[in-house]
Amino acid sequence: MPRDTSATLAFVESPVQLLNVLEWAHSPGPLLDGVPAQQRPEAPDLSGLTVVVLSPTDPMSRGQLRRMAELARDAGTKVRWEEARGGLTAPLHTIGGLTPMLRRADRIVMGDPFSRYVQLLLTVSRARDLVVVDDGTATMEFVSQLARGERLVRWHRRGSRAGVRDLAFAPVSAAARRRLTPSRRRSVEVFSAMPVEAPEGVTVTANTFGWTRAGFGPPRLTKGADLVGTSLVETGVVDPESYLAAVGQLARTHGVTRYFAHRRESAEKLHTLHARTGLEVVRPDLPLELIARRGPVGRTILSFPSTVVHTLPLALAGTGVRVVVCDIDPRWLTDKASPRAQGFLDGVTGAARRAHGLARVAA
């Protein structure tokens, strides 16, 4: 039987989250594992799925989300756009407007279990089925924290001491963690392209990017190499000068001609990067998995530790594109970086090399 998407409410805050909700909706689901592809239904009925976009404020994310919302509607999904951060009263207005839908939904799909917005919405919901789709490599940390019974904290947060806002929100966060723990009355599924080992009772379904591969490409390949940007500078993990030097070294060594910017990278940094390296800076209007699949794309794609070292090998399977990962040198880390940062980043690249046989380079 096809994956049931009736009475399903999904919350997304980024373009990648929305892409992975669509991948989840089009995937066969755990009940169809082992069923030959020719015996599976070709297209699910998505009329029962409503995607709520909790819109961020930065223009690049909003632009990509608008495009992804168009693709979701074309696929038969209802999309509701919420200006969830449009002022002091926006959260109250958003939550109040969504409460009836939350009460009716049998299933909640979310892209970011660390989001305070999503955690607050979970306290209103009565859904018996919860699904977490990938929000990048943070999924690996979420599963680990859930297994250890720890409070949900993003990996790049420095230190473990809770601030005033953390303490005030602690009861809501604790309630959300309990909701995300499976029980006899509640199921929890993690839909992921990451190599995760879920705790007992959590169902893990592999995201193979089947919907992306079926609808886009294969791409035309160019002679040059492409480099995928990262927001590690913007999150305070990596020193800006070290990052720019590494990009320049990789460009010279591997014949890189284009730099695909992360949606959170600052315009000032990208301007400096172009001036120093001469690279063509590309601001994608869709998640990179779709951009690369649509093409044109380089025969080699280089990336620092990020989600794409796990997702691009799947999305580009069979195209001849080679994905290469560049480790983060510990000397690049800032004083503001979390003590866990180096271990987490090394874990991301190590897992990608084991799962996909990626080559490793140094800058």
Helix (H, G, I), strand (E, B) or coil at 345: helix
The amino acid at 82: E
What's the angle, vertex CA 208, arms to CA 16 and CA 317, rounded to 5?
100
Q: 8-207: which CATH architecture?
A: 3-Layer(aba) Sandwich (3.40)
CA 204 vs CA 172, 189, 275, 321: distances in Å: 25, 6, 45, 28
28 touches 127 (CB < 8 A) = no
Residue closest to 61 by CA, chosen among 304, 259, 265, 215: 265
Q: CA 362, CA 246: separation in Å to the nearest integer?
A: 9
What integer best gives the mean pLDDT of the chain? 87
Q: Quick one: DSSP state of residue 102?
A: H
Counting beta carbons within 10 angstroms of the beta carbon of residue 126, is it exposed (0 to 12), middle (13 to 18) or buried (19 or more)? exposed
130 touches 186 (CB < 8 A) = yes
353 touches 325 (CB < 8 A) = yes
The amino acid at 65: L
Helix (H, G, I), strand (E, B) or coil at 207: coil
What's the CATH number for 217-361? 3.40.50.720
Side-chain half-sphere CA neighbours of 352 within 13 A: 29
Taking the C-alpha atoms of 252, 254, 259 and 264 in order, what is their torsion angle to the nearest 10 degrees? -100
Q: What are the residues whose beta carbons fall under 8 Å from the beta carbon of 159, sequence distance 6 or more?
A: 338, 339
The reported pLDDT for the residue numbered 106 is 94
155 pLDDT tier (thresholds 50, 70, 90): low
167 pLDDT tier (thresholds 50, 70, 90): low
Mean pLDDT of 161-187: 76
> Does this chain's domain 8-207 share its CATH topology with 217-361?
yes
> Where do the H-state alpha helices sit in the chain?
15-26, 59-74, 90-104, 116-122, 138-148, 164-179, 210-215, 240-254, 267-277, 288-294, 308-315, 341-356
Residue closest to 238 by CA, chosen among 329, 301, 343, 363: 329
- Ramachandran angles phi, psi of 307, nearest 5°: -55, -40
Partnered with residue 140 across adjacent β-strands are none
- pLDDT above 90 as % of the chain: 56
Helix (H, G, I), strand (E, B) or coil at 360: strand
Instruction: Copy the structure tokens of residue 168.
Output: 């005030």
Tell me the domain boundaries of the chain. 8-207, 217-361
Helix (H, G, I), strand (E, B) or coil at 64: helix
List, for residues 14-29, the tens digit of each pLDDT value. Answer: 999 999 999 999 987 6
Instruction: Copy the structure tokens of residue 166.
Output: 């953390």
**Does the pLDDT at position 41 exceed 70?**
no
Instruction: Copy the structure tokens of residue 85.
Output: 């951060």
List, for residues 279-311, the tens digit of each pLDDT value. Answer: 999 999 999 999 999 999 999 999 999 889 999
Partnered with residue 282 across adjacent β-strands are 260
Q: CA 21, CA 158: separation in Å to the nearest integer?
A: 30
The whole-model pTM stands at 0.88
List, for residues 181-190, the tens digit of each pLDDT value. Answer: 888 888 999 9
**Does the pLDDT at position 33 exceed 60?**
no
Q: Cβ–Cβ contacts within 10 Å for residue 286, how many?
A: 20
Residue closest to 259 by CA, chosen among 225, 286, 235, 289: 225
Counting beta carbons within 10 angstroms of the beta carbon of residue 155, is it exposed (0 to 12), middle (13 to 18) or buried (19 or more)? buried
Phi-psi region of 149 (alpha: psi -120 to 50; beta: other; left: phi over 0): left
CA 156, chain centre distance (Å) = 15
The reported pLDDT for the residue numbered 2 is 56
332 touches 242 (CB < 8 A) = yes
